[in-house]
């Protein structure tokens, strides 16, 4: 199996058996009640798309930064207040969705996501956009 869509269920935690599917390339767990991501997510190194939107997560494990093949990361509609800078170490990430969280400022190293083409961060608690993140937003707006 390469793709799994378990969205819109009542999953409250990611089962260990799911994390053993290390060859998955797409994992959709959108619209569940997940509040934590197990550290073992780092073993899913073939993931290119991870959708964890519309859950109840406040904190993301730094191990997400080990998913180097990710091109799409959807974290919209959670309770995330800040992103660990290590999570921004995803060289192939082209799409990052962070809408509807509680983020007050984007990570300083957002500009390090050189492959990023789409960034959505509306509906947060941003007070200002740093110069680095504004550059990324401008760059991506003009590419479309």
pTM: 0.89
The number of distinct structural domains making up the chain is 1
Phi and psi of 119, rounded to 5°? Answer: -130, 125
Where in the sequence is the domain holding 40, given as residue range(s)?
3-143
- The DSSP secondary structure of 50-87, one letter per residue, reads EE--SS--S---GGGGG-TT-SEEE--SS------GGG
CATH number for the domain that contains residue 35: 3.80.10.10
pLDDT in tens, 56-82: 999 999 999 999 999 999 999 999 998
Q: What is the pLDDT of residues 95-136, one digit of tens each?
A: 999 999 999 887 778 878 889 989 888 999 988 766 555 555
């Amino acid at each position: 199996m390469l793709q799994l869509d378990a969205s819109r269920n009542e999953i409250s935690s990611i089962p260990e058996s799911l994390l053993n599917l290390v060859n998955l390339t797409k994992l959709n767990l959108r619209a569940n009640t997940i509040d934590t991501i197990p550290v073992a997510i780092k073993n899913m190194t073939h993931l290119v798309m991870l959708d964890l939107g519309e859950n109840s997560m406040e904190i993301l494990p730094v191990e997400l930064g080990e998913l180097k093949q990710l091109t799409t990361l959807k974290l919209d509609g959670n309770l995330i207040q800040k992103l660990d800078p290590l999570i921004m170490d995803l060289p192939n990430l082209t799409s990052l969705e962070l809408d509807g969280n509680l983020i007050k400022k984007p990570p300083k190293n957002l500009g390090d996501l050189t492959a990023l083409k789409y960034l959505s961060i509306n509906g947060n608690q941003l007070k200002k956009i740093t110069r680095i993140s504004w550059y990324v937003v401008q760059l991506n707006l003009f590419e479309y």
